[in-house]
Each structure stands twice: as structure tokens, then as C-alpha cells.
Amino acid sequence: MIVDERRSKILQITEERGFVSLQRLLSEVAASESTVRRDLEFLDAAGLIQRTRGGAAFLGDSQSDFDSRRSRASVEKQQIARRTADLIVEGETVLLDGGTTTLEVARHLTGKSLQVLTNSLPIASLLMNRAEIELIFIGGYVYPKTGVALGEQSVEALKRMHATRLVMSTGGITAEGLFNSNALLVETERQMIRAADRVTLVADSSKFGQRALSHLCSLEDVDEIVTDNGMSNEWRQVMETAGVRTEVVERSLPVRP
């Protein structure tokens, strides 16, 4: 098991159980005690777990599964997805990253003749019976929380692929670039960026100023971002300086009683 995959596995186990002993981790990941201790130190330094006597505790709320997060998809995400689908033109080869927002993008591709590449089982399931879409699934280690294929096999498959556009989401955006919480996912997404002519980022305004475990790429690697109008003027300036075109959708206002 490679380093990123092992650390992702340790984080997943700790997250699912809240607390896990060192001995349990040793049996689950089949690594030496010194290796697992180094992994725990790395995850502790990243603020994702807390080292304890004899094990580790997960920090924060447990990550909800994909279906739960999808059912709570915000109106903003749906609007972002609809606008992103409008940017995709007939005949494109589109690479769709996994995530709740990219799944919503896939829903709005109805009627367009496209070639779609994806590592997301939910997106593949949605599009597999669409006659107008030629679907190619990118295999690999399937992360159980999200149904997304990751890791070395996914990266190698992507090296043989080319897309006119990548539509991707992210765990956080700072002036340093994009971040995601799964280190194994980051390696796969980096290869997705290399495989595409154009990178379209879909992210609601809550992602600005947020960091996660692993740095994915710089802002200069993104061609355009589709977001809601909760984005501040300061962030618009940051994006402009980085050469990122900004597409803003209107944020829904709460209905007055």
C-alpha cells in the first residue's frame, strides 16, 4: 500500500470509529508500528486526528456518506451546476471529477452529444443509459465514502486519455491554490489536470479561504471558476490576478415569511 493510500485508509478508519487503537491500525493497514506512528504524526500535524495514548481520535464531525451529502446539495450548488453545464458545448470530451456538485453538472448534460470520462461511480450510473453520451469509466481503488476511483491505476489510465475540459470540485481555495482532504484523490486530480485542455472549477463561495490536508494545484492551473455571488471582491481580485475567469451565478435569497 502506497503512502497516500495508507494514510487515507488510516484517516477513514479513525473517522468511522471515532477512536482507534494503534494495534487495530497495525492489523488493518498491514504496516510496521514505526510506519503507522509516522502516519499518525503526519495526520495529527495536519489537524485531522489527535494522537492519544495507544491510538488516535478523529477531530470534528464524521464525514457523511455521498448520498447524504447529495441530498443536502444547496440551491447554490444546483445553480452552479446548471451554469457549468451551459458552458459545455456539443461534441466536447468532458472529464468529470467526483463530487456532489459535479454529479449535479452531469444531471444537466441531458440532450448533448458528448464523450464523458469519469472516475465517479455515481456519475457513471447516472449517465450509463444516456444514448447521446459515450461514457468511459476510469477504474482504480474505489474510495467507499464517495464511490470515486483513485490511486495508481487511475493515474495510469488517465495518462492515456485526453479531454477538452475537466470539470472538478475542491475541498478548499486559498491564494496558494486548491486543496483536498484525501491525499490519494489529489494525485488522481493532478493527472486529470494534465489530461485536459481546460480546467473548470465548480465551488460555492464557502470554499474560499478554506484549507484541507493536501495541496492540489496553484490557481494558475485553473482556467475558470463557476461560483455563487457570495464571493467577495477581494477573492474576485485574487482570481483575476491569477488569470482565472470568474463565472458568478446569483445566490438565492431566503423567502420572507
Q: What is the pLDDT of residue 212?
A: 82
Question: What are the DSSP calls for the chain, one per residue?
Answer: --HHHHHHHHHHHHHHHSEEEHHHHHHHHT--HHHHHHHHHHHHHTTSEEEETTEEEE-SSPPPPHHHHHHT--HHHHHHHHHHHHHSPTT-EEEE-SSHHHHHHHHTTTT--EEEEESBHHHHHHHTT-TTEEEEE--SEEETTTTEEESHHHHHHHTT--BSEEEE--SEEETTEEEES-HHHHHHHHHHHHHBS-EEEE--GGGBT---SEEEE-GGG-SEEEEETT--HHHHHHHHHTT-EEEEEPPPPPPP-
Q: Do both 122 and 216 map to the same domain? A: yes
% of the chain at pLDDT higher than 70: 90
Q: What is the pLDDT of residue 208?
A: 93
Domain total of the chain: 2
CATH at residue 166: 3.40.50.1360
Please give the residue range of the domain that contains residue 161.
67-249
**Which residue, of 58, 79, 96, is where some domain finishes?**
58
CATH at residue 35: 1.10.10.10
Q: Does a structural domain hold residue 257? A: no
Q: What is the pLDDT of residue 1?
A: 62
Q: Do both 29 and 87 map to the same domain? A: no
Q: Do both 150 and 45 map to the same domain? A: no
Q: Do both 36 and 147 map to the same domain? A: no
Q: Do both 128 and 77 map to the same domain? A: yes
Q: Does a structural domain hold residue 110? A: yes
Q: What is the pLDDT of residue 238?
A: 95
* Spans in the chain with pLDDT lower than 70: 1, 46-47, 59-74, 251-257
Q: Do both 150 and 222 map to the same domain? A: yes
Q: What is the pLDDT of residue 74?
A: 67
At 56-109, the pLDDT tens digits run 877 644 444 444 444 444 677 889 999 999 999 999 999 999 988 999 999 999
**Which residue, of 12, 27, 58, is where some domain finishes?**
58
Q: Do both 43 and 95 map to the same domain? A: no
* pTM of the full structure: 0.72
